[in-house]
Structure 1
C-alpha cells in the first residue's frame, strides 16, 4: 500500500519552491546577459575617423633629400662680354630641394638653382613645384615623387633681391681699368639682360643639362605600418607634412587640430593615435593568438581560464578599460578602468597604471584589478609602440626607421614623438 504524504506537507514546501528555483533561473538570466554583452563587443562596427595623424617636419624631409644632390651635374655658363673684357663664367647647379606648404591635398617643393663663382654664391633661381601624392590606404602608404619631367613644366623665378645681388657681383669683377670706361648703369643693364635670357630662352637648355641622367629629385614613400586603413588624407601644415589616416576599427576619431601633438619637439616626427585604435589592435592580437585570450581569476594567462578578455578605450576618467567575461559556469562580466601613465625609457615604453579599479560587475565573481593591468593593459601599449616603431620612410632609395623617444597619454589618445634613423644595411658576405 502506497504511503501518503503527511497532511499539510505540501502546504509547508510550497512557499520554498520559488526559493529553490531562483538560483538556477537567476544564473540563466545572468549568463544570457553576459553572453549577449560579449557578442555585442566582438561585433562592434568600425567608426568614422580619422584615427591616426602623422606630422613630418618639412625640414626633416628636405635634409634627407639633400644628400642626393651632391652628385648631380654642374653647367658652366659664360658671363656677358663687357667690350674687350672677359668676365669668365659661372657654375650652375641644383643646390637644394625644400618642402613647403601647398594647396590642400598636395605638398610644395622649392628647387633652388645656385649660380656660383669660384665656389662662392652669386645668385639663385627658384622653381616652385607642387607634388600630388599617391595615396594607397590598402597598403598603408603615401608616395611623393618629383621627377625631371615634372620640372620641365616649371618656370624659374628670380626675386628682386637676387637681381640686385647679381648686378653688384658684376660690378665687383669688372677690372679697375675698365670701371672708368663703364658706368654703373651700363653694368646693371647688362646684368638685367643676362638674367632675362637666363630665365627665358636659355633656361630649357640649362635645365636639361642640369637634369641629365636624373630620374627623381624627390621620391619619398611613407609606410604607416600594419593598421587596416580605409582612407588617407594629406594636408600641408605650416611646418609639417600631415597625414591623417582613417582606420577600419571600432575606435573614436581624433579631435581636430594639427597632426603634431601639442608641446612636442618640432624637430621630431609626431604621431597622434586614438586610444580606441590601441584597444582595437590589442583585440585583434587577442583574436589572432598574439595575446592570450583566456585568464584565470588572478589575471594570469591560462588556456583553461574561465575568463575571456577584451580591451576598450573610453575618453574621460580612467579611459583604459579591460573587460573580462565568464560565459559558462559562474557567469559574470567585469570591467576594470585605469589611467595609464606612459613614458619612453631606454627605447622602450614604460607603462604604469596606479589607479586600476574594478568599475562594473555583472554576476558574483570577484578578482583583483591591479593584476589585470599589469598584464593585459601593458600589452595594449606594447602593441601601440610597435605600430609607432613600424612607421617607415624610404627617401630616394634609403630606408629610415622610426623609434619612439617620447610618449604621453591624454583622456582620448596616445601621443608619440619619433626619431628617424637610417636603417642598417645588410652585411656584405665575404668572398
Structure 2
C-alpha cells in the first residue's frame, strides 16, 4: 500500500472552546491514543511512529517506510472517541510536485474516482505560495492520460494504490466516504482518497464517571455508548433476575450473558482510557418476586422493578463517586416510559437519571446499534421478563407506588441485593 501516514480530524465541537480548553482536550486525546495503541499493539508500535499536531489535526506517520503498518493505526483510531474522521494518507514533501501529482492522480483512479467526475480538494495551511489551481490542473491532466491508456501497468501499478475492501476497526462500523483530498501543512503534503467516519464526541475520561444500567436488549447498551461518546467512563451494572434458583436458570443465564456480551463490545471502545471500566452483576430475584406479588394487580410491577434498579445504581454511584445514572429509556416506547411514569421512576433516587435515547425512535436505535456493534446480540432470542403485568399502568402516581413499597420493605431487599453484588473482571 502507498499509505504511510494517518491524518486525524478532531470533533468540530472543540473549535467553539477557548484555546486553553481546546489544547487541554487535544492533549487528552493524544494520551488516550497512545494508551490505546500500546494496549492493542504493544509498546513497540509507539517506538516506530511519530506525532505532530496543529489546531484541530493530528498527523501520525512511521519513521521508517519499511515499518509502515497503517492497518494497526486505523484499527485503533477509527473507533476512538473525540475523533471526527481519519484518512490514510501518503505523506511527502510539497516541494516534490511530481510525487504529489502522480500519487494523487493514481490514488483517485484506483478508488474508482474517474478524471471526468472527481473534484479534488486542496487545502494549504501556512503555505501561501502554493499554486493550488495549477496543482489541480496537473493532477487532472495526469489522471486523464492514465485513463486514456487504460491504466496500463507501465503507467500505473494498481496494486500499490488499490482500495481496501474494508478497514477493520473492532466493533465500530464507521462509514467510509470516497473523498480525494490534499492537505498541505507547511512543507508537508498529505494525499488521501477516503474519509473514515469515527465516533466523534469527547475523549473518554474527560467527564466524571456514571453508572450505566445495561441489559441484553437494544436500547441500554446504545445509551451507555452515547454517554461514553460524551467522555464518561461508565461503571456497568447488570440487573440479573436470578439468585441461584434452578427454576429460571435458562432465562436468567440469557439475561446475564446477553448483557455481559453487550458490555464486552462497549469495553472495546474504552481502550486508552485512564480508568478501566468496572462491571457489576446484581441479582434481585427475591425482590422481583415481591414486586410481582404486590404490584401486578395494580399494573405497577415494572415501575417497582425499575425504581429498585435505580436504587441499586444510586448506591453504586455513591461507592465510586459517579455523578449520574444512564438508562436506555425512550419517551413513550413502553408503558413504564410515559412522561408521567418517568417522573415516578426518577422520584426513587436523588441521583440524576440521564436518558441519551430520550427522543430517538426505534429505527434510529437500530441504526446506532448496528454501527456500534451490539445489534447481533440484541437479536438473540430470550424469554420475556416474567414480571410484566397484563395491563401495565401508563399513568402511575408516586404516592401509590410508595405505599406499595412500604408493604414490600424495599430496604431489606436493597441490602440483600447489594450484599450479593458480584464484580466481574
TM-score normalised per structure 1: 0.28
Indicate the structure (1 or 2) with the bigger Cα radius of gyration: 1
Higher strand share: 1
TM-score (norm 2): 0.28
